[in-house]
Amino acid sequence: MATTNDLKNGLVLNLDGQLWSVVEFQHVKPGKGGAFVRTKLKNVLSGKVVDKTFNAGVKVETANVDRREMTYLYRDADDFVFMDTQTYDQTHVSAATVGGAENFMLENQDATVGLHDGTPLFVELPASVVLTIEYTEPGLQGDRSTGGNKPARLETGYEIQVPLFITTGEKVKVDTRDGSYLGRAT
């Protein structure tokens, strides 16, 4: 159990038997009346986002989420297989749970998997990853570092926008949160 004063981003709450992750929270103290906490909660399993308001100091039930470092091994039909780096146990995570992270995952890549009672809830990748450009149109004479973007397919099959001077086979750094190009990898 925790109070609304203990809320922070990423905390998982157990409300009415469902797991909700805190996306945003704001403590509000109006001039008249009692203080309250305005939150934006995301259902861990379905991804649905709702706004919920709690009175200040109210007790809320937190869920025990175990974050484990795991290595992505391979894809098995609709599941992704991860191996716990401590115990070497293999865990099958559904494609729905992996979500957009699959666009940036390569075999043998490390990730953080959140588990609740043995059920995978989410997969978190590092903020940026280095991937190879599998294919992009060649740049033309006169292309400069400032001036437009072109589509490029990564080795994972995901397509991002890169500057015109990037060529096929180059390694680039990609932001895993929004899929944006961050620069060449060294």
- Copy the structure tokens of residue 117: 């009672």
Question: Which residue, 24, 26, 29, is CA-closest to 11?
Answer: 24
65 close to 13: Cβ distance less than 8 angstroms? no
pTM of the prediction?
A: 0.72
Residue 46 is predicted with a pLDDT of: 77
Is domain 2-60 classified as CATH 3.40.50.1170?
no
The matching CATH number, chosen from 2.40.50.140, 1.10.10.10, 1.10.3470.10, 3.40.50.460, for 66-124 is 2.40.50.140
Taking only the tens place, the pLDDT of each residue in 65-115 is 888 999 999 998 889 999 999 999 999 998 888 888 899 999 999 999 988
Quote the CA–CA distance of 180 and 163 in Å, as a whole number. Answer: 11
Q: How many CB atoms lie within 10 A of CB 150?
A: 15
Question: Do 128-184 and 66-124 fall under one CATH topology?
Answer: yes
Architecture of domain 128-184: Beta Barrel (2.40)
Residue partners of 31: CB distance under 8 A and separation at least 6 = none
